[in-house]
Structure 1
């Protein structure tokens, strides 16, 4: 059954765009499991998701280019990857309220597909494509700006592994690679806690805990970088 009436109006209000061709948004919300008969893939969101993936990448790239005029290609690429990854798109789909609007087959609906990250991400991209086909680049740009701008301006996770950033920072200053040392281990075997220290010659040691040695090492590197005033997304 197609989305219509108050449900459609509510979705359009949330995403900030009213479709002239309602069939496009209906298609963007249709999972293959809800399609019967021949060529189900052509009557689901899959083709729109393909287009939306590329439209989203183009728009976000443009936004990044304008927002960070001093950023080099490497940083822009890392920011782009963070913004268009599956998890980010799924979060946008939740913000749009797409889960409740999707057309699913009974089996998928019962299995929790409305909350499945991969499906939500695909539907978010399909909606971007639907807006692009219905209203052109400007319509798609406005929709993407509405839901990705805050993420672009304030990334929700470090753009780079803090251990990598610290190693490059040390190398740029003629220092050897950082040394990580396990300070202590506590807790039961099934839920251990590690305290790790990171050391560089002539600089104060930084320590941090974690549920694994790797997690503690990353936390220690992040603590070191924070103390030295180095942003994890920056170049060495």
Structure 2
């Protein structure tokens, strides 16, 4: 399993008040599997994704990423785990406005000190149809192009786990579906594991499993063929 979560809970405290954002979540995600997590706002989806991606620490339970218990890692090693093993795709692409398309990927390799790359930045960008946008800044790209850059950036270090937070939210239905088709294909073709948090029910048929987050609990919502 690329990702294993065992009885994971996350409690936020505000003085005497407590809010359980995650409640005893257990999940296994295999290589080549692309999962959607749906649910109403405030159900715990974002907390779930941040906890799975080692951005938040659970209050209780265990999380394994590529066989490593992330709660036994120091803060520095957690940072390196995110750089080496986890690729993030955010709702608004989160590109750095003063970096070109090529440099969006290069900065990840510099931070990770990655000398043996799976693909060069240019090869990966051309794979996503961005060969004529290498020197463009984010302001010169369409919404769909920005999300394709974000996917390429998430893949540049050949991570095991891809986490996508509402990747279609800022796109129309056609471009949104194209982005999810790309994500699903990359997960399956490259043997990754993928989790997508989404409100967009029009793309759920592209996923292997659909799970629902409700009041901090994760349950099977449907089986997608």
TM-score by length of 2: 0.22
Kindly indicate which of the two structures has a greater share of residues assigned to strand: 2
- Bigger relative contact order, structure 1 or 2, given CA contacts below 8 A and separation 6+? 2
Structure number with higher helix proportion: 1
Q: TM-score, normalised by structure 1?
A: 0.22
